[in-house]
């Protein structure tokens, strides 16, 4: 059986401020919890009962910082009820919603274009459903650019 590789991505723009993040802070589109929109990835080629193997996660942000920025990408099987906004402690997802949490160091700087980091799962250790959600968490101090854009890319593979 041939494996099919697919690449899906989603982006969000964080608020127009440069308030520094601390470890465990949510990186999101709004400072108001009720306005935070978790990002969704949907694979229209899968059935509702189907699953994809996660092969890689890439996280990009539009600011080229001079130091490594560290984040986690939370992978969720259902839309979470977010209880804090951007720059507040990440809160809301339940244990039953969490599929996995992927740590990433975004340290490959692209002059004038931002920064990029990637995690590989060639052994296919993480299964993702047809539709999944993700959140981004800062894992260390990071001073963002105002209205900085974050993009997550997921390379998926299905039999």
The per-residue pLDDT for range 34-54, each reduced to its tens digit, is: 999 999 999 988 877 778 888
Q: Over the stretch 6-31, which tens digit does the pLDDT of each residue have?
A: 999 999 999 999 999 999 999 999 99
According to the model, what pLDDT value does residue 10 have?
Answer: 96
List beta partners, residue 100.
75
Residues 6+ apart with CB under 8 A from 44: none
Q: Over the stretch 97-116, which tens digit does the pLDDT of each residue have?
A: 999 999 888 876 655 566 76
Percent of the chain with pLDDT over 90: 57
According to the model, what pLDDT value does residue 61 have?
Answer: 87
Q: What is the mean pLDDT of residues 133-149?
A: 93
Instruction: Using the predicted structure, report yes or no on whether residue 2 has a pLDDT greater than 70.
Output: no
Q: How far, CA to CA in Å, does 41 sit from each of 48, 82, 138?
A: 13, 18, 21
Burial 27-46, CB ≥16 within 10 A → b, else e: bbbbbebeebebbebebeeb
More confident residue, 95 or 119: 95
């Amino acid at each position: 059986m041939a494996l099919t590789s697919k690449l899906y991505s989603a982006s969000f723009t964080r608020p127009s401020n440069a308030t520094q993040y601390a470890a465990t802070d949510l990186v999101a589109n709004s400072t108001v919890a009720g306005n935070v929109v978790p990002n969704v990835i949907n694979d229209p080629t899968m059935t509702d009962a189907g699953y994809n193997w996660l092969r890689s996660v890439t996280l990009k942000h539009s600011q080229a910082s001079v130091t490594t920025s560290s984040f986690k990408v939370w992978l969720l099987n259902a839309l979470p009820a977010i209880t804090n906004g951007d720059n507040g402690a990440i809160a809301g997802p339940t244990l039953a919603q969490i599929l996995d949490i992927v740590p990433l160091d975004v340290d490959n700087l692209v002059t004038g274009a931002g920064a990029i980091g990637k995690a590989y799962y060639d052994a296919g250790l993480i299964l993702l459903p047809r539709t999944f959600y993700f959140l981004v968490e800062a894992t260390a101090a990071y001073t963002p650019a105002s209205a900085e854009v974050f993009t997550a890319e997921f390379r998926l593979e299905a039999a």
